[in-house]
Structure formats: structure tokens, C-alpha cells
């Protein structure tokens, strides 16, 4: 089981929207130097929904190659067609990813039984361990706790990324899964500290893109039950957690990474560059979090 800070990696792009492969390799190396515990390639923050199949495959392959076994790689393989999710998972397995992250099928709005059948099919079609991903604010469908408990019994489904931000619901799931070999990860940075202190195993984080060392330290403290240290770090990071959602992810975090000199000014339509009125707010949050000098 992975524990700690797992970065939901942004995909560097050039100003024309082309993937910047050289920058992607450098950026992965930067994370390895700064304490990131695992890397999610082509997750939501990586913009896979605007990529061709070939690009999606190549992002996963490139990250796996650059990591070279130093930390686990979690491949974003979710799709709203079950057959497509299976194909992506099989490819990730072929190129050496350690886990796959599979989002609830968006737009289709399946029933709970449909979600159970979808994830069961992905898990049975490929031996790559599956981490489910529930983010109803984006997908329009919610994976209920009762369905998660059913799926926790399915071979090869080993965890859940919960991006609901609902701590009461997370605490219920954590309690009901005690004793299971099943990982529970926060996918909501503003509530991730309390999620982990309640018994969660780590965070799949947007903030980790720009503050990898601090997110690693926060996750280590919180998973280890060091409340004082975790709250101290989280207080410093909270302005960053908040502003990275000021426009749709990954708009703010890509602006922040460009501001830090790590990536070019590239993002793909229908997403656009961060509005000028928000740029000073994000820059101030980077300063308050200690990411850049004041």
C-alpha cells in the first residue's frame, strides 16, 4: 500500500498546446528530488480528456521511464466507456505502471449497480491494482459508501481516492473499512489533513505540484498521527489549497508552475490561462506557503 503524498501531476505543454516532453521529464525529476512519494500520470490534473489515445499512452510511458522504479507510478486510466478504461489499464500495465487510477464514468450517470459492474470489469480484465476515484463535482455521478464497501471485496480493487471533501462521510468509510487491506486517499487538499488524521493513508494532491516537500511532510505527519506537526504544516499550506481551486483545475496550478519557471505557458482548450485578476492571488499564496520568496 502506498502512503504519503502522491502528486496529481500536471502535464507540461508548450504555448501551442503541444505536450512538452522534455519539460515533463525534468518536472518528474524535480518531484523525485523533492520528496514526492508517488506520481499520478495523466490524472485529472494532467488533462487526459483533451489528449489523443496515443498522447495519453505516451504520457504514462514517459513518466514510468523517467521514474525508473524510484517511486510508484499511478496511471490515470479512467474513462466513461468501460472498454476504454480496460484498454488504458492494460496499456499502463504493459509499460510498467504500478497502479491505475480509474474515475467513475463521467456524463453517463450510471446507477450504483452500474458503477459496481464497471469497476469489477476493469479489475478483472487487468492485473494492475485499481484505485477507484470518486469526484462527483466533475463527473455528475457519486460512488456511495455502500458501493465502495462492496467493491472493497473485489479482487484487485485496492483503494479509493475520495475527492468529495465530505469528512463525515470519509470518517464513516474509514471506520467501516478498518481491518481491510484497502487504501483510502484524500483527493481534496483543503480537507486532506483531517482525512489523514482520521485514518486515511495519504493524499493525491494538486498542491503537491508546487509544494512537494511540504506536502510530503504534511502527509508523513498526518498519517503518522502527529496532530500538532500536521496542523502546523497544513496551516501554512491552506492558502495554497484554497486558491488552486479559484478556477477549474489545472488552470491555477499550471499558472503557478509557470510563475515558478518550471513549465511553459501551455494549456489546452476548452481550458484557458488563469484570469489576470486572480494571478496576484495565486502568487501571494505561493509566497505564504513558502514556495517562492516574498
196, 169 in Cβ contact below 8 A?
A: no
The SS3 assignment for 103 reads strand
Q: Is 161 a catalytic residue?
A: yes
180 counts as catalytic? no
Residue with cell 486572480: 278
Contacts (Cβ under 8 Å, ≥6 apart) of 118? 82, 85, 104, 105, 110
C-alpha cell at 211: 509544494
Q: CA-to-CA distance for 8 and 205, rounded, in angstroms? A: 5
Q: How far apart are CA 129 and CA 119, in angstroms?
A: 11
How far is it, in rounded angstroms, from Cα 213 to Cα 220? 11
Three cell numbers written together for 253: 496550478
The verdict on whether residue 251 carries a ligand-binding annotation is no
Helices (H), the chain: 21-33, 53-67, 82-95, 112-125, 136-139, 145-151, 167-176, 189-197, 212-223, 227-243, 251-259, 279-288
Question: Grid cell 492485473 — which residue?
Answer: 127
Which of the residues 91, 161, 185, 254 is marked catalytic?
161
Q: Does 36 carry a binding-site annotation? A: no
Catalytic residue among 91, 133, 185, 254: 133
- DSSP-derived secondary structure letter, 155: T
Residues noted as catalytic: 133, 161
Residues forming the annotated binding site?
Answer: 45, 204
Residues forming the annotated binding site for pyruvate?
Answer: 45, 204
Amino acid at each position: 500500500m502506498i502512503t504519503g503524498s502522491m502528486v496529481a501531476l500536471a502535464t507540461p505543454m508548450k504555448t501551442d498546446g503541444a505536450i512538452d516532453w522534455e519539460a515533463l521529464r525534468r518536472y518528474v525529476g524535480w518531484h523525485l528530488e523533492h520528496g514526492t512519494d508517488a506520481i499520478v500520470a495523466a490524472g485529472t490534473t494532467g488533462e487526459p480528456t483533451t489528449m489523443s489515445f496515443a498522447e495519453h499512452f505516451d504520457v504514462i510511458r514517459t513518466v514510468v521511464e523517467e521514474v525508473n522504479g524510484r517511486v510508484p507510478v499511478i496511471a490515470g486510466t479512467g474513462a466513461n466507456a468501460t472498454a476504454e478504461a480496460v484498454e488504458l489499464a492494460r496499456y499502463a500495465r504493459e509499460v510498467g505502471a504500478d497502479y491505475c487510477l480509474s474515475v467513475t464514468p463521467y456524463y453517463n450517470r450510471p446507477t450504483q449497480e452500474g458503477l459496481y459492474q464497471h469497476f469489477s470489469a476493469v479489475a478483472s480484465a487487468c492485473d494492475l491494482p485499481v484505485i477507484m476515484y470518486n469526484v462527483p463535482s466533475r463527473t455528475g455521478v457519486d460512488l456511495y459508501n455502500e458501493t465502495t464497501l462492496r467493491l472493497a471485496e473485489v479482487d484487485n480493487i485496492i483503494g479509493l481516492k475520495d475527492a468529495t471533501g465530505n469528512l463525515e462521510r470519509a470518517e464513516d468509510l474509514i471506520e467501516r473499512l478498518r481491518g481491510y487491506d484497502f487504501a483510502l486517499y484524500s483527493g481534496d487538499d483543503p480537507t486532506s489533513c483531517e482525512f489523514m488524521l482520521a485514518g486515511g493513508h495519504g493524499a493525491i494532491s494538486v498542491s503537491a505540484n508546487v509544494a512537494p516537500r511540504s506536502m510530503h511532510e504534511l502527509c508523513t505527519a498526518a498519517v503518522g498521527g502527529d496532530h500538532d506537526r500536521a496542523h502546523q504544516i497544513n496551516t501554512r499550506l491552506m492558502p495554497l489549497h484554497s486558491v488552486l481551486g479559484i478556477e477549474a483545475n489545472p488552470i491555477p496550478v499550471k499558472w503557478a508552475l509557470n510563475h515558478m519557471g518550471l513549465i511553459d505557458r501551455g494549456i489546452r482548450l476548452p481550458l484557458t490561462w488563469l484570469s489576470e485578476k486572480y494571478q496576484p492571488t495565486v502568487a501571494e499564496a505561493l509566497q505564504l506557503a513558502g514556495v517562492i520568496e516574498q
